[in-house]
Every structure is written in C-alpha cells, then in structure tokens.
Amino acid sequence: MNEASLIGLCAASVSFGALLYLAALGEMVSEKAGILNLGVEGMMAMGAVTGFMTALEFGNPWLALAVAVAAGALTALLHGWFTVVLGAEQVVSGLSLTILGLGLAAYLGKNAVGRPPGAVLAPVDWPVLSDIRWIGPVLFQQSPMVYLSVLVGVVVWFILSRTRTGLALRAAGESASTADAAGHSVVGLRLAAVAVGGGLAGASGAYLTLSLTPQWAEGITAGRGWIAVALVIFGAWKPGRVALGALLFGGTLALKTRLQTFGVDFSPILLSMLPYLLTIGVLVAISIRARNRPSPAPASLGIAYRREER
C-alpha cells in the first residue's frame, strides 16, 4: 500500500460519500415530514438516465442536472399523490416506485446504453487549495456535485432546525394533526418534502452518470438507493451524522474495488454487506435505548393523515 493509492481511496470515499449523501438527505427530508419513500433506487435511476440523455442531446451538464432533479421530483410526486393525497400504504407505493423507476429508466435509456457521455461535470480545480498535499486531491479536486452536496446538507440542516418552515415540516412528521391544528397544510408540507426528496435522489443519480461513472447502463444504480435509505437510519435523521455515515459507507464502496491493490485477502463482496449490517446494528441499538429515551425516528413516519378521520 503506497501513499498514492491511499489518497485515491480517501478521495473515492468522499466522491461515493457525496453520492450517498445527496440521496440520503432527500430521503431524510421526506421522512422528517412523515413520508417513508422506499422508491429512492427508482428515483435515482430516473435522474441518472434523464441526466445522461439530456447531456447527450444538449451537451450541457448543468441543464442535465436540472432535468435530472426535475425528473426525480416528478417521480417522487407519484408516490406523494398516492401516499399523501390518497393515503395509500407508503411501503407498497414506495417499492412500486422503485420497480417503476427502474423499469422506466431502462426503457428510456435503451438507446443510450454504451454511448460516450455528451457532457460531464468536470472536477473543480481550486486555486492553491488543490495543490496541498493529501488534502488537495482528497477534498479539492472533486466533482462540483461533492461541494453541492455539502451545501445542500447545510441548507437542509438550517431549514429543518432553524426556520419556521422546518419546524412545520417536522411537526407534520411528528404529529400531523398538531401541525394541522397549528394552521399548516400537512398535505402541502408533505408533498413538498417528498418532491425535494425525489429531486435530491435525481441529483444523486445524475452525479453518477455525469461524473462518477459517466455512462448509462441498466442497473447502474446498483442498490445505492437502498444504502441511502439505510444511511438515514444510521445517521439517526440528523444531517451531520448522516454526513459521517455517508463517508463511512462511501468508504466501503471505494474500498470494494481497491482491496486487491492493497493486498488485503478479504472478499470485496463480503465487505459490501457492511453498510447494511451496520444499519441493522444501529436499528437494534436505537430500539434498546428507546426504552429510556425517545427514538430519533419521526413519530408519524409511515402513517397516512386524513384530516376528516383524526
């Protein structure tokens, strides 16, 4: 193991971490408002394919990103319509959204498979900072999506914990009838949160096809949407902790392809179980602690709200 490969590992952990972080932040916003969306994988695939195809067509990566965000949000709003407006089961609707999104993405992207990207989000070269030993290559030669994910993380944290809108949103997730009684539109808040969640999942997908692995192939999301769902739990619904978890889980993704170069005789496949096993561990720990203190999960998570039936 030499210095260059170690730097490569750290840099890749950050890149993968940002990918997971974007999608997880979106899922967190949605869950904070009380809507569990298990469609992340599908929304990510929709963002990935629409972003890639927009780049093919127009050659502008930022337009591609915008389209991917819109596609993710629109896909998510299907879930929103069924779960928030009609009050359907969130688990079933979300899983169907994953199936639908993966199918639709495969269908839309049929002719884009194997084609070279029309545009990529090129890594940002920061003056001075990029040249710092270690820190430069790990933190300051990354795709713009990495910096964007940090920015989104701060914005989400600020809105959720420091603004009235955030308070209302959390109220919708903790106790919908209370939020309603306080004069907030629970349906509006929840729909908005679901759309934001989908938009961020779409952005995460676009990051994949415009920067991380600039190509489109069916199944390119490879279960990372599920890691994002796990990450929200692992991070106990807190943006900061989710960020740390994203680095850790991103690290396992980065390490997976590098184990052999490091001469470690351990199956990369077994390593890739780690995020899920850690999340199960955290779930168990949360439940054990919940005997003494409240669970960090939003209290109304997964429960439909119908004003007429409260």
Which residue type sits at 178? T
Q: Which is nearer to other proteins, 85 or 151 (CB)?
A: 85
Out of 230, 231, 254, 255, point to the residue binding other proteins (CB under 8 A): 230
Residue 95, CA atoms < 13 Å, CB-side half-sphere? 3
Out of 223, 240, 257, 261, point to the residue binding other proteins (CB under 8 A): 223
Q: Which is nearer to other proteins, 101 or 137 (CB)?
A: 101
Q: Which is nearer to other proteins, 5 or 295 (CB)?
A: 295
> Is 132 in contact with 259 (CB distance < 8 Å)?
no
What does the per-residue mask of binding to other proteins show for 97-126, with x meaning CB under 8 A? xxxx-xxx-xx--x----------------
Out of 89, 141, 258, 262, point to the residue binding other proteins (CB under 8 A): 89
Shortest Å distance, C-beta 87 to other proteins: 7
Q: Which is nearer to other proteins, 132 or 270 (CB)?
A: 270
Out of 21, 82, 140, 216, point to the residue binding other proteins (CB under 8 A): 82
Under the binding rule (CB under 8 A), the answer on residue 188 touching other proteins is yes
* Spatial distance between the Cα atoms of 18 and 271, rounded to a whole number of angstroms: 20
Q: Give SS3 for 272.
A: coil
Under the binding rule (CB under 8 A), the answer on residue 260 touching other proteins is no
Out of 154, 155, 264, 284, point to the residue binding other proteins (CB under 8 A): 284
Shortest Å distance, C-beta 102 to other proteins: 7
Long-range contact set of residues 271-278: C-beta below 8 Å, sequence gap at least 24? 274/249, 275/227, 275/230, 275/231, 275/234, 275/248, 275/249, 276/226, 276/227, 276/230, 278/234, 278/248, 278/249
Decide: residue 146, CB within 10 A, 0-12 exposed, 13-18 middle, 19+ buried. buried
Query: Is the sign of the CA dihedral 42, 45, 51, 54 positive or negative?
Result: negative
Total of chain residues touching other proteins, rule CB under 8 A: 56
* Spatial distance between the Cα atoms of 10 and 5, rounded to a whole number of angstroms: 9
Q: Quote the DSSP letter at residue 5.
A: H
* Spatial distance between the Cα atoms of 58 and 79, rounded to a whole number of angstroms: 29
Q: Which is nearer to other proteins, 83 or 143 (CB)?
A: 83
Out of 181, 257, 261, 299, point to the residue binding other proteins (CB under 8 A): 181
Out of 24, 55, 78, 191, point to the residue binding other proteins (CB under 8 A): 78
End-to-end CA distance of the chain: 61
What does the binding site for other proteins look like in residue numbers (CB under 8 A)?
36, 38, 78, 82, 85-89, 91-93, 95-100, 102-104, 106-107, 110, 181, 183, 185, 187-188, 218, 223, 226, 229-230, 233, 267, 269-270, 272-273, 276-277, 279-280, 283-284, 286-288, 290, 297, 302, 306-309
